[in-house]
Amino acid sequence: MPGLEWTVISDKDLLSADDEARLDAMLQRIAESHGYVSNLMQTVALAPDGLAAFAALATYTRYGSRLAERQKQLAILIALRDVHYGWTHHAPQARAAGVTEDQLQRLREGRTPRDMGATERALCDYAFEITAGRRVPSRVAEQMHAHFSPREIVDIALLVAHTTSVAALAIGLDVPVEAPEVLQFELDWQQSRIGG
């Protein structure tokens, strides 16, 4: 990110020279694939090998799946609806993808917005079931299979699972939200990445 450097929220003195070099390379790859290194990623850098795996799944779920950006943001917001860190990052991205304020409010309340099309309602119902830790009811599974390919269903499940881990890490590690100018940079970068 031009003009901003990342500072790993860790004690690099605990790392060997090889681990420090691997970590620096990983942070550079994250900056290239995500536009910058978030506070969450910096915090996870305390476990460099864990960061590598976590960042790889983040990159796939955000940029490698076949889902539309709006679909991704709906799934992400459902998994992060009670997490200030995540909501602060993704509500603006969802708005940019066309999610309305009323729809955002309903998602935050744990409800599928009924003014969406059948495909998006199926996705929301499915994501709510996954985040609740329940077996997906047959009616929800049937709706998913009616609107999504098997690969897309796996992509949605991976995205929700990864985002649920983001929520747990953000809360469990008390990750601070970035400054407003960093959040704006992220939004602008994401929009340029997806062509919005």
pLDDT at 138: 97
What does the domain layout of the chain look like in residue ranges? 12-63, 67-192
User: Does pLDDT of 170 surpass 70?
Assistant: yes
pLDDT at 22: 83
Where would I find the H helices in 35-137? 39-44, 48-59, 69-80, 84-96, 101-108, 118-132
What is the percent of the chain where pLDDT is above 90? 69
pLDDT at 1: 44
pLDDT at 13: 63
- pTM beyond 0.85: the answer is yes
User: Does pLDDT of 12 surpass 60?
Assistant: no
pLDDT at 91: 97
pLDDT at 193: 81
**In the CATH hierarchy, which fold is given to the domain comprising 67-192?**
AhpD-like (1.20.1290)
What average pLDDT does the segment 164-189 reach? 93
Q: How confident is the model at residue 11 (pLDDT cuts 50, 70, 90)?
A: low
pLDDT at 35: 86
Tell me the two tokens of residue 158: 């991976």
Q: What angle do CA 76, 196, 189 make, to 5 degrees?
A: 70
Q: How many other CB atoms are there within 10 angstroms of residue 140's CB atom? A: 19
pLDDT digits (tens, 9 = 90+) for 115-160: 999 999 999 999 999 999 989 999 999 999 999 999 999 999 999 9
User: Does pLDDT of 42 surpass 50?
Assistant: yes
pLDDT at 2: 45
Tell me the two tokens of residue 69: 């950006």
pLDDT at 6: 45
User: Does pLDDT of 25 surpass 70?
Assistant: yes
What are the CA-CA distances from residue 160 to residues 7, 56, 73, 114 (Å)? 28, 15, 10, 20
**C-alpha atoms less than 13 angstroms from C-alpha of 63 in its C-beta half-sphere:** 16
pLDDT at 68: 96
User: Does pLDDT of 14 surpass 90?
Assistant: no
